[in-house]
A = this chain, B = another copy of it.
Amino acid sequence: MLIIFGSAKLLAEICERLGQPGIVGEILAGALIGPSVLGWITPNDTLKSLSDLGVMFLLFGVGLEVKASELLKVGAKATLVATLGVIVPFFAGWGIMSAWGVPQVEAIFVGASMVATSVGITASVLSAKGLLHEVASQIILAAAVIDDVLGLIVLAAVSSVARGHVNFWEIALTAGLAIAFTVVMGLWGTKAANHLMPHFDSRLKADDAKFHIALVFLFGMGLLAQYTGVAAIVGAFLAGLALSDTADARVRTLTRGVSELLVPFFLVGIGLHLNLAAFRSRSTLILGLLILTAAIVTKLIGCGLGALGLGMVPRGEVGMVVAQIGLSLAVISSEVYSVVVFMAVATTLVTPLLLKIAFRTPALEPVGA
């Protein structure tokens, strides 16, 4: 615990002093203390749980700061951004891997791993800089939620292909459930919470009952999201969004306390997964850089230049999960697995650096796709 938290905060402080975002330091801390360099810490179940909780609270906190009505205003644009931001990377990944000569299924899986944006990193940068209410930020958040749903559908389809028989009914069901859950919560979550919270709150006797209700709601939404097939973090974000009107300053500060403790475990956890040993082979290194470049460029092409596209670049844990499923289905090699994880970690690492530059330039306006 001490090593993870301490090294994360130490490197974060060093990065801040160098004028770089602190979260870059925390991810680097993970890479440093992980198996790749010092080997002090290896990923385990407990770390995984703390990291999962961390990213849930991160997204919950971001949701609390955003209003559903504002996100809905940018809904049409966000849907376009998300859709193009899914299509372009998917085909780029597929194309590159096909050209590289791997089997079709493996190429498709790499494409799928490049689809979904991991919104945690971007959200954390935007939130730290107080930029969550910029139009570009709103579009990024809405698009990231939508592209997570799309990514899920792509993953369902691709897994179906990998298992050898495409089950259209199952894919349609997954898609329907995921879309229904997100739409219902996005549209009516806030209204329901505004209606119900005062009832509960006035009837409960415990101290900080509001925070307890918020936590139960958060865990419930996380669970529900997983049942409907969406990532738990999307559920957490929607939970925060629903409570953004009713949560008072105390609930926000208490949530912040949990985030401050747990988010470093999420960031360090990303860095921990980096396996630099695989890149001793020159061809793996070239492939890794190629896929990384494609991962960045395709989101810029699909989602727009400037802050908007950049905000969609990080793949983080979402890309890793797809790669792990591919590995467990035995359709991707351990070499390609390392490449995908490298892409996921590196996109996450460069985003805060690039975002910082993008938001410093005068042209803050999102450039549409």
A binding-site residues for B, Cβ under 8 Å: 1-2, 5-6, 9, 12-13, 16-17, 22, 45-46, 49-50, 53, 128, 204-209, 211-212, 215-216, 219-220, 222-223, 250, 253-258, 260-261
A258 to B257, CA, bound (A): 6
Known: A45-B46, A257-B255. A9 touches B212 (CB 8 A): yes
Contacts of A9 in B (CB 8 A): 206, 212, 216
Contacts of A208 in B (CB 8 A): 256, 260
Contacts of A256 in B (CB 8 A): 208, 254, 257
**A48 (CB) vs chain B CBs: closest residue:** B46
A133 to B209, CA, bound (A): 25
Output the least CB separation between A227 and chain B (Å). Answer: 11
Output the least CB separation between A41 and chain B (Å). Answer: 14
Contact across chains for A219 and B6 when beta carbons are under 8 A apart: yes
Secondary structure class of chain A's binding surface, majority of residues: helix
Contacts of A2 in B (CB 8 A): 216, 219-220, 222-223
22 A–B pairs (Cβ distance < 8 Å), ordered by A = A1-B53, A2-B222, A2-B223, A6-B219, A9-B212, A13-B209, A16-B205, A16-B206, A22-B206, A45-B45, A45-B46, A46-B46, A49-B49, A211-B260, A212-B260, A215-B260, A253-B253, A253-B254, A253-B257, A254-B254, A257-B258, A258-B261
A254 to B250, CA, bound (A): 10
Contact across chains for A219 and B5 when beta carbons are under 8 A apart: yes
Contacts of A45 in B (CB 8 A): 45-46
Contact of A205 among B13, B49, B212, B219 (CB under 8 A): B13
A45 to B44, CA, bound (A): 10
A255 to B258, CA, bound (A): 8
Number of copies: 2
| Max count, chain B CB within 10 A of own CB: residue among A128, A208, A254 | A254
Contact across chains for A216 and B257 when beta carbons are under 8 A apart: no
Contacts of A207 in B (CB 8 A): 128
Contacts of A204 in B (CB 8 A): 13
A17 to B204, CA, bound (A): 9
Contacts of A206 in B (CB 8 A): 9, 12-13, 16, 22
A211 to B257, CA, bound (A): 8
| Max count, chain B CB within 10 A of own CB: residue among A6, A22, A45, A215 | A215
Output the least CB separation between A83 and chain B (Å). Answer: 33
Contact across chains for A215 and B261 when beta carbons are under 8 A apart: yes
Contacts of A46 in B (CB 8 A): 45-46, 49
**A16 (CB) vs chain B CBs: closest residue:** B205
Contacts of A22 in B (CB 8 A): 206
Contacts of A128 in B (CB 8 A): 207
Output the least CB separation between A205 and chain B (Å). Answer: 5
Contacts of A215 in B (CB 8 A): 5, 260-261
Contact of A258 among B13, B205, B223, B258 (CB under 8 A): B258
